[in-house]
Structures are given as structure tokens and as C-alpha cells.
Amino acid sequence: MRWLTILAIALGAITTLSYGTGAHIAVRFLNPVFGAWWNANEFAMVECSAVAFGMLLGIRLGARLVDGLSLKSNSMIAAVIAGALALPIVARLGAEVARYRFTRGASANAWLIDRFGYDVGMFLDKLLNAGVYSMKIAAIALPVGMILFGLAIVIFMTAAPDTDPGPAISK
Amino acid sequence: MLSLRLVVLFLHVAAVIVALGSSLFSTFALAPVLAEELDPPARLRVARRVIRRLGTIVLTSLAVLVLTGILNVLFVGGVSILLLIKLVLVVVVIGLALYQYGNIGVQIWRLSAAGPSPEIAILQARFRRIGLTVGSIVLLIVYLSLGLTRGPEAIVAAIR
């Protein structure tokens, strides 16, 4: 679980930085075929790694709130499998929602150009946009991960045998 | 009259009603009646089964809420500060519900297998308190939702 989260963070950081800085040009220079593939897929990888990170974070947060080792580990495994299956759908929905602009404020473009000049400002703005986009997708995926873990808990709780605590005697 | 947007909104509102209604029913109707009408062993036997069923209902409703909530944002077509606050509160509610059913509920379930004990009464009181907190936050989320769609700074009005 820990390694999956680290992998999602690393992949997210690399692809976001690569997309934000336009690093596919350097990859193309070293290996044209791989560079072309990288350029075609890096944006999808930004979205998928952000969703994976958000869902894994949600599952891990949920697991911290639950008691019982076997219930926790079984639910985590089930939630990760369900999350992997749901990843394409959540990535698509998350990407759609993350593209919406804030209805007011949250525009750093002018400030960055004013502070660092046009070229550097535009470069930093694209990098910031990619980072914010990635974080917004992860934020949308977080409750999805938590609720997948919750549903797994429900399934395992319901499947557990109902042991009788003793004879019921009503008044 | 019948559009996907309306169906999604209907499911979203229905999920809130089910999640909130079942928690309130359990706290204010079922628990007092159980305490008055049944002896401790029988009360415990009913309560532990209610916790399991209620957990299933509340967590499934929250799942429907999250899914339809994301679809609703797609239909509204914008993100505002109110929506971000709502998202944070949703994460808090899911966390509290997981703690309520996955931690305290499981502890009650485990301890009650050996019959009534004072520890269970404390856990049940905590279970009810968290249920009420979840209900209150859900009500706050409902108020924020009204602000998003009906308030003076409604996101819909800002976009059009």
C-alpha cells in the first residue's frame, strides 16, 4: 500500500513536471520514438496518477479510522481493486471537474508575468496550472477512495457471521 | 421534465434523506424505545444488528452522495469557494461515518458477543454522539448546497 502510494506520487510528480515544462522535447531528442509516445500519453498519466494518489490517500485515511486488523486489511485490498477498476471513470469525471475555472479570483498569470517577466512568467504559469490541475483531480478522487473503502467495510461487516451474544429476554 | 440532471439531483437528495433520516431515527426513536421496552441482553442483541444494518445504509447512501455530487458539479459547470468548503465537509462526514461504523461499531459488535457490559454503554453513547455530529454536518452541507444553487451568489447566476 505504501509502495503503491509512493509510486503514484512519483509518477504524478514526474509527469506533471514533464507536462508543465514541456520536457518531452528532451526525451524526443534522446529517443524520438519514446519521446513521441511520452508526449502522446503524459497528460493521461498526469490524470491517472493524480486519481490513483487521491484514491489511495482516501483508502489509507479511511483505514486509519477503522478498528480490527483483518477487517482493515481485507477492506483495503478490496478497495484498492475496486479503485483500480473505477480509475478510468473517476479519472474522466475528475478531469472534467478539474478543468472548471474558479468562479472568482485564483488567477496567478498576471502576477507571475509581472514578477518574473513574460517568458519565465508564462513558463511558471503553465507549470502552476499543471500542478493545480493535478491536485484538483487528486482532491476529487480522495472522497471516492474513502467511500470505496467504506463500501468494502460494509461488505465485510455484512458477510461476517452474526454470533449470538446470549438469549434475548424481553419484558 | 425527466432529464439526466433531474434524475441525478433526485438521487443526490434522496441519498441525503436516507443517510440523515436513518441516523436520526436510530438516535431519537429506536434507541429510547429499545431502552424502555427491552432488557439489556435483548436490547444489545437488537442494537448490534441495527448497527450493522445502519452502517450498510448510511455508508451506501454516502457512496451515492459522492457519485451524484461529482455528476452534479459537471452539470453546474463551475467551482466556487462554497463548493470547496462542501467538499472538505464531505470528506469529514465520510471520515466520521467510517469511524462511527468501522471503529466504534466494530468494537460494540466485538464486545457485545460476550453479553452486556458497562464498556458497551460508553461506546454506544459515543456512537450516538458521532451520529448526531454527522447529522449536523450533513445539515450544514445541505444549507451550503442551497447557497450554491439558490443563494444570492449562486454559481449558476455567476456563469450565465
Q: What is the DSSP string of B8-31?
A: HHHHHHHHHHHHHHHHHHIIIIIH
Task: Write out pLDDT tens, residues B34-89.
Answer: 878 777 777 777 877 788 888 888 888 888 988 888 888 888 777 777 888 888 89
How would residue A74 be classed by pLDDT, with cut points 50, 70 and 90?
confident
Q: The domain containing residue A128 runs over which residues?
A: 2-158
Task: Answer for the pair A39, A24: CB distance below 8 angstroms, yes or no.
Answer: yes
Chain B residue numbers touching A150 (CB-CB < 8 A):
59, 62-63, 94, 97-98, 101-102
Task: Answer for the pair A62, B99: CB distance below 8 angstroms, yes or no.
Answer: no
Question: Taking chain B, what is the end-to-end CA distance rounded to the nearest angstrom?
Answer: 22
Q: How is chain A split among helix, strand and coil, in percent rounded to 5?
A: 80, 0, 15
Residue A72 covered by a domain? yes
Residue A118 covered by a domain? yes
Number of domains in chain B: 1
Q: For chain A, which residues lie within 8 Å of any Cβ of chain B, measuring from their own Cβ? A: 61-62, 65-68, 71, 75, 93-94, 96-97, 100-104, 136, 139-140, 142-144, 146-151, 153-154, 157-158, 162-171
- The closest of B121, B123, B119 to B106, measured between CA atoms, is B123
The pLDDT of residue A170 is above 80 = no
User: What's this model's pTM, rounded to 2 decimal places?
Assistant: 0.80
Amino acid at B119: E
Asked if this assembly's ipTM is beyond 0.90, the reply is no
CB contact under 8 A, B45 and A142: no
Task: Write out pLDDT tens, residues A88-111.
Answer: 888 888 888 888 766 555 567 777
The phi, psi pair for A99, rounded to 5°, reads -75, -15
Q: The domain containing residue B144 runs over which residues?
A: 4-159
